[in-house]
Amino acid sequence: MSTCFGNIRSVAKRELSGAVSSPVAYVFVVIFLLLSAFFTFMIGGFFERGQASLASFFGWHPWLYLFLVPAVGMRMWAEERRSGTIELLLTLPLTTWQAILGKFLAYLTIIAVALALTFPVWITVDYLGAPDHGIIAAGYAGSLLLGASYLSVASFTSALTRNQVVSFIIAVVICLFLILCGWPPVLDLLDRVFSPAAVDFVAAFSVMTHFESIRRGVLDLRDLLFFFSVIFFFLFATQAVLRARRAG
Amino acid sequence: MISVSDLRKNFGAKAAVDGVSFRVERGEILGFLGPNGAGKSTTMRIVTGFLPPTSGSVRVGDFDVEEQPVEAKRLVGYLPENAPCYSDMTVSGFLGFCGEARGLRGTRLKGAVGRAIATCFLEPVAHQSIDTLSKGYRHRTCLAQSILHDPPVLVLDEPTDGLDPNQKHEVRSLIRRMGRDKAIIFSTHILEEVEAVCTRAIIIDRGRIVANGTPGELKGRAGGAGAIVLRAADRGGAALRPFLDKLEGCSAVELLEEQPAVLRLRPKDASAASALAARVHETAVREKWKLVELRIEEGRLDDVFRSITLPDSAPGQKS
């Protein structure tokens, strides 16, 4: 068991060192911080709301992640395949799962760092008013789960192809589907055509509905279960793809 | 250490490996020869567990590569074709990762990385980023990775490809040295390398083994093997010929040069070549020829290689 974690840790460490020595990690963190500040204060109307909450901050995360997470995750397997290092990685005494989890955790760390660096927003809102810190903490947790879900999608699409651009586009499309099937304008549209039960069924697949309820501070087991099952599903799909491509 | 039995691998309808079986024990260095696309790399990828076979099995040590992949991979060091490396890492960082992934920690890891760097002559670039390295250094970095954990089994896919003659020589002597207590498979296009390094060679063509033996045995299969060449300084070739024609066991005499005389004798039977050479010598002494050269031709490995892997040769010819 300890070798299992050790293996995951070695892979994660390698992947992180690769990401840190290339511009990928920095570009992701900086762009994420710039855009999240821009959307929160300029477009989200943080001040105009007059509320001591980070609703305008977290509300943009599904859209920010939509492009940024697939961009940071697209090299995960595609790059290994292109450069041939996948042959090294998969002939080391590791299981495929350990490699997948190691890589996944490495990129999740980058997302977590970017998210942690948004702390000035929290300080700002605390300075200006008296926010509910529990809700904000829940918002951060929800945001990380959201990022992790997109990352698992990126892991899957990255394993599909050696071309990073193709991997990026497919990941964005899948993530967009996960957003749109619960976005109120789309749900309204569906509501006119289908029965409420059918609309609820579609909405249940959306990260939006689950993310919304977590960031309101409602930590429902079902929402957590949803995110974990999305992550597990796409990581499992990654493993299936790697296995299938191995078989030739 | 390595036992491959009836290995097959299909890519779609094409059979890349078609019923390959061989064994390699400790202390053996097996050379893998064959034209491009013959199935060498595919076989090596299956042995190292990177590709699963369509059918057949590979055992490394006591482990079946498909059933206990992690245990089997622990015993193997692998240099893939084209020597891929994580180019965003430094040489020592890369080796450190490989060592860690192989379960080495702390001082053992440090020692192993240091030894591998020294063995592969990487000291000058140890702290350099891999993407700034020349091809030779990059290649040796990947080689260092394969010997890092001192594995009992080494699988090297074209270990001397892209190296300069000095580096080639270094790598060959390294392989020879390691071959004393390891089981090594290596593939190459360079036939002198097989003679210089291998204890045994396999020629593979279109996914099948077409020859399997020591380099000496393989050379014996060359068309010219066993012929006797003699050179005499003081006589014309035509003057010597009648004597040689009469010798027992000689099937043909060719005149290669008239002055100074160089002639080639073909024995009736390749195994009788040395007896025939002795008779040539007796004749020369009796007739007082000034003999300056007398040798039995060994046969050339590339002749053998060409004759069994050319498309018009009979396929499936086994030794």
pLDDT band at B12 (very low <50, low <70, confident <90, very high): confident
pTM of the full structure = 0.84
Same domain, residue pair B165 and B273: no
Same domain, residue pair B104 and B185: yes
In DSSP terms, B183 is beta-bridged to: B153
Give the span between the Cα atoms of B131 and B117, in whole angstroms: 17
Contact call for B50 and A87, based on CB within 8 A: yes
In which domain, by residue range, is B270 found? 228-296
Q: Who among B71, B73, B129 is closest to A92 (CB)?
A: B73
Question: Which element (helix H / strand E) includes B233?
Answer: none
Same domain, residue pair B171 and B281: no
DSSP string covering B30-89 = EEEE--TTSSHHHHHHHHTTSS--SEEEEEETTEETTTSHHHHHHTEEEE-TT----TTS
In DSSP terms, A189 is beta-bridged to: none
Q: Are B216 and B66 in contact (CB under 8 A)?
A: no
Contact call for B98 and A88, based on CB within 8 A: yes
Structural domain contains residue B29 = yes
pLDDT band at B238 (very low <50, low <70, confident <90, very high): confident
B52 vs A contacts (CB less than 8 Å): 246-247
Residue type, A92: L
pLDDT tops 60 at residue A180: yes
B82 vs A contacts (CB less than 8 Å): 84
Structural domain contains residue B264 = yes
Structural domain contains residue B310 = no
Structural domain contains residue B307 = no
Taking all residues of chain A, what is their mean pLDDT, rounded to a whole number? 88
Q: Who among B49, B71, B82 is closest to A91 (CB)?
A: B49
pLDDT band at B152 (very low <50, low <70, confident <90, very high): very high
Same domain, residue pair B187 and B134: yes
Which residue, B180, B195, B220, sits at the end of a domain? B220
Question: How close A44 gets to chain B, by Cα (Å)?
Answer: 39
Q: Find the range with the poorest average confidence among A10-14, A156-160, B119-123, B272-276.
A: B272-276
In this predicted structure, what is the pLDDT of residue B125? 92
Q: The complex's ipTM?
A: 0.84
Inter-chain Cβ pairs, chain A and chain B, closer than 8 A? 79
Give the span between the Cα atoms of B229 and B295, in whole angstroms: 5
Which tens digit of pLDDT belongs to each residue from B276-285? Answer: 888 888 888 8
Q: Who among A6, A21, A88 is closest to B84 (CB)?
A: A88
CA atoms within 13 A on the CB side of A69: 35
Q: Who among A14, A21, A22 is closest to B97 (CB)?
A: A14
Which residue, B220, B255, B286, sits at the end of a domain? B220
Note whether B282 contacts A: Cβ–Cβ < 8 A: no
Q: Who among B11, B84, B98 is closest to A248 (CB)?
A: B11
Same domain, residue pair B169 and B279: no
Structural domain contains residue B69 = yes
**Phi and psi angles of residue A43, each rounded to the nearest 5 degrees, phi first:** -100, -40
In DSSP terms, B184 is beta-bridged to: B29, B154
Structural domain contains residue B308 = no
If one counts the domains in chain B, the total is: 2
Structural domain contains residue B303 = no
**A242's tokens:** 């790697």
* CATH number (domain holding residue B127): 3.40.50.300
Q: Does residue B315 come out as left (phi exceeding 0), alpha (psi in the -120 to 50 range) or beta?
A: beta
Give the span between the Cα atoms of A36 and A40, in whole angstroms: 6
**Unique residue bearing structure tokens 């495929």:** A96
Same domain, residue pair B235 and B212: no
In DSSP terms, B64 is beta-bridged to: B59
Same domain, residue pair B169 and B214: yes
CA proximity to B142, closest of B159, B166, B162: B159
In which domain, by residue range, is A93 found? 2-246
Which residue, B185, B200, B220, sits at the end of a domain? B220
If one counts the domains in chain A, the total is: 1
Contact call for A93 and B73, based on CB within 8 A: yes
Same domain, residue pair B155 and B35: yes
Contact call for B70 and A90, based on CB within 8 A: no
Same domain, residue pair B175 and B89: yes
Note whether B139 contacts A: Cβ–Cβ < 8 A: no
Q: Are B152 and B127 in contact (CB under 8 A)?
A: no
A17 vs B contacts (CB less than 8 Å): 88-89, 93
pLDDT tops 60 at residue B78: yes
- For B28-47, give one letter per residue: b (16+ CB within 10 A) or e: bbbbbbbbeebbbbbbbbbb
Q: How many residues are listed for chain B in this entry? A: 319
Same domain, residue pair B175 and B146: yes
Contact call for A93 and B103, based on CB within 8 A: yes
**CB under 8 Å to A197, separation ≥6 — which residues?**
none
Same domain, residue pair B58 and B101: yes
Same domain, residue pair B14 and B86: yes
